[in-house]
Amino acid sequence: MRRLLILASASPRRAEIMQAMGLRFATLPQDVAELESGAPPAALTLANARAKAEAAAGSAEAARLAGDPPYGGGFITIGADTVVHKGGEVIGKPADGADAVRILSALSGGVCEVYTGLWLCAGPGGPHAEGCEVSRVRVGRMAPASIEAYVRTGEPFGKSGAFTVFGKGSPFFDEIDGSYTNVMGLPAGMLYRSLASLGYGVEGNWA
């Protein structure tokens, strides 16, 4: 029996990564209360990813999406959560323009870590796979005027650390040590291995 992949996220970057991997999937974003502090970054991202994946797995909509042939009700939900970490601080999404300027000013000229927690559920109450990927990002020196211009584009909003390495912000990031797709919000290698551990072969399901 084939199983439908369900991405429990509204992130266009995560969808693009799954599309680039040749995967067939549906998107089913979940409105869950996300932890923003109070735990180490790996534990925090895993908790948030789990909440999204389990909420999607238990939803009637997931069962409906997978109810028709060729899936016959089988599905795997995928939850992911990404945060930036620097100097002992977990950096989430900016609250407003001033907060985005503050975050980018603090990151300028330094090195930060990007954590993405991944949690997969093979149906409600079924087996799961989990993991957390970490990448180090060296940020170039950003002039105050450049930071303000970048914030005015609107790109930093809704992004952990107020940046994306794919887009207008890409010139400001000098080096990535680790998975590039992890920094984009969905580590492709970890997703591949996690699906395999649940008996889902990516190669046999290429779109």
Catalytic residues: 81
Residue carrying the six token digits 């699906």: 195
Q: Give the contacts of 181 (CB within 8 A, at least 6 positions apart).
A: 17, 187, 188, 189
Give the residue ranges of DSSP H helices in 117-178: 144-152
> How remote is the C-alpha of 108 from its chain's centroid?
23
Give ∠ CA 14-143-110 in degrees, rounded to 5: 60
Q: How many CA atoms lie within 13 A of 188 on its CB side?
A: 15
Per the CB < 8 A criterion, the answer to whether 9 and 25 are in contact is: no
Residue 9 half-sphere exposure, CB side, CA atoms within 13 Å? Answer: 28
Give the CA dihedral 20, 136, 190, 64, nearest 10 degrees.
-60
Tell which residue, 88, 89, 75, 191, has the closest CA to residue 133.
Answer: 191
